[in-house]
Structure 1
Amino acid sequence: MKEFFLFRGRLRRRAFWGRVLGVYSLAFGWYAVVCQLAVRQALPEAGAVLLISAAIVLATVIVVIQSIKRLHDLNLSGWWGLLLLMPWIGYGLGIGMQLVEGSSGPNRFGPDPKGRTAYVQRSSAQKSSSAE
């Protein structure tokens, strides 16, 4: 649970989608419960608005943190996430973030979540010496 609030580390596409859909599902469920309580007058309207607002803020913070971890898997700084706020550019980055596979092997943000090792290109001198 603690790693939902930490900016460190990397996050695979599948884990990103699982977490984001889980957070949105919980937020939607919370919204439905609070609305039902407000409709049945078991909860004052001001209290319902406060509880729903708090859930929206919490869900947004968690999704932003998960997006930054996804950017880390692409070997990009979390500051690139600011581009998500720009129309058209943000759409392209948001889609690309989901379609592009993370960098192989460890990068500056941590080990590969898939456990792959980095691809090392051999030089032509190494290739010729191994062929002999």
Structure 2
Amino acid sequence: MNWYFDVLRRYADFGGRARRKEYWMYALFTFIVTLVLGIIDFALETYPLLVGIYSLATFLPTLGVTVRRLHDTGRSGWWYLISLVPFVGFIVLLVLTVLEGDSHVNAYGPDPKAA
């Protein structure tokens, strides 16, 4: 749960690096919350009200942690735009977020594992 709140605290921080664990724990928690809110939305027949509000509220933190994750692999945050390419873009971004980060200092800062 701390991984989730740490990302929310750094909601507009696009500098630095994010470990795989930080990124994927945030993604897991966001997925679970979205799933629960979707079920509540369907039960209340208000879909997509709650899910939409949550998605808007977490847009900047999600963008920030994804950019920091890309920085950890030595890539610019602009690589996030690859997800706009139909079909292949999402797969490429998924692969980039799964890759192990640089184990040395790169242009975006020191290795977060070493800290």
Q: Would you identify which runs of 4 or more consecutive aligned residues in structure 1 move more than 4 Å?
A: none
Q: Number of residues paired by the alignment?
A: 108
Residue 74 (structure 1) shift:
1.0
Structure 2: runs of 5 or more not aligned: none
In structure 2, distance between residues paired with 1:50 and 1:95: 27
RMSD over aligned CA atoms reads: 2.4
> Aligned pair 1:64/2:63, yes or no?
yes
Distance 1:51 1:13, change over 3 A: same
Q: Which stretch has the larger CA shift, 70-79 or 8-17?
A: 8-17
SS in 1 for 2:10: helix
SS in 2 for 1:64: helix
In structure 2, distance between residues paired with 1:29 and 1:91: 24
In structure 1, distance between residues paired with 2:66 and 2:108: 14
In structure 2, distance between residues paired with 1:61 and 1:14: 19
Percentage identity across paired residues of the two chains: 28
Structure 1: runs of 5 or more not aligned: 40-44, 117-132
Distance 1:60 1:89, change over 3 A: same
Cα deviation code 1:6-41 (max 9, x no counterpart) = 2222111222111111111112222323433x25xx
In structure 2, distance between residues paired with 1:98 and 1:49: 28
